[in-house]
Amino acid sequence: MKISIIQTNTEWENKSANFGKIEAALSVLPDDSDIIILPEMFNTGFSMNTAKLAEPSDGETFRWMKSIVGSANSAICGSYMIYEEGKYFNRFVFIAPREEIWLYDKRHLFSFAGEEKFFSPGNERLVFNFRGIRISPYICYDLRFPVWCRNRGDYDLMINSANWPESRSDVWATLLKARAIENQCYVAGVNRIGTDGNGIKYCGDSMIIGPKGNIIATAGLDSEEAVTIDISLDELNRFRLKFPVLNDADNFSIEL
């Protein structure tokens, strides 16, 4: 499977500008990318301005994502603000060709920034199969909670769409590697660059990590960049058979 990650300098609360930046990055991607992954709140930045920026589930950003998929044979995914049944959600949306759609609402809201005052948490972990790869998506702060992200032998690729500040960039890289190692999976972590409307700086460092914790692709620091790489399910399964760590994992349940 060929994965593309797009790291942009997200314009604060400016959807049209951000759509344009992403479209420019898409124009240089290989035509045969299977999945295009965008950062958290890729259309607005990590804003709490829900009243102005949140959309219904079939709103402007959803239609834009569908238009991208309609002109390619690729899926596209990332998170943005959704208003649904009187609540706001930081929702990861994955749209694939042939009208395949999967949704995940961010479980761990970032209380340090007051996210829980504006958004409702999700309560369902998501795993789905796309083109033979089992995928489990998460959003930013979820990365710090390994029990929620735990591979129960049911996924091959973890996606994390983030707005992860530069001040904690070492934590970002460390946790991405840890999640890959402990879950024996590929991990794609996609972050933004630039400074947001609250003066918080982001340096990017988006990366794709192999199941041994090795970085196999990176968009680097402080650059708007798109990176594409192949991941191999055959190689992953060979490693899991050779070193079957997940067979010895503890059973557990989560209380929500």
Distance CA 25, CA 22 (A): 5
Positive/negative CA dihedral, 92, 171, 117, 48? negative
Q: Percent of the chain at pLDDT above 90?
A: 93
pLDDT tens digits, one per residue of 56-88:
999 999 999 999 998 788 999 999 999 999 999
pLDDT tens digits, one per residue of 160-195:
999 999 999 999 999 999 999 999 999 999 999 999
Task: Tell me which DSSP letter residue 135 carries.
Answer: E
Backbone angles phi, psi at 46, to 5 degrees: -80, 70
State the pTM of this model: 0.97
Q: What is the CATH number of the domain that holds 44?
A: 3.60.110.10
pLDDT tens digits, one per residue of 117-142:
999 999 999 999 999 999 999 999 99
Burial 105-127 (b: 16+ CB within 10 A, else e): bbbbbbeebebeebbbebeebbe
Assigned domain for 255 exists: no
Which residues lie below 8 Å from residue 96, measured CB to CB, with a gap of 6+? Answer: 69, 75, 130
Assigned domain for 202 exists: yes
Assigned domain for 253 exists: no
Assigned domain for 254 exists: no
Assigned domain for 191 exists: yes
Assigned domain for 69 exists: yes
Assigned domain for 179 exists: yes
Active-site residues, by number, are: 40, 106, 140
Distance CA 10, CA 21 (A): 8
Structural domain that includes position 29: 2-248
pLDDT tens digits, one per residue of 205-243:
999 999 999 999 999 899 999 999 999 999 999 999 999
Domain count, the chain: 1
Assigned domain for 98 exists: yes
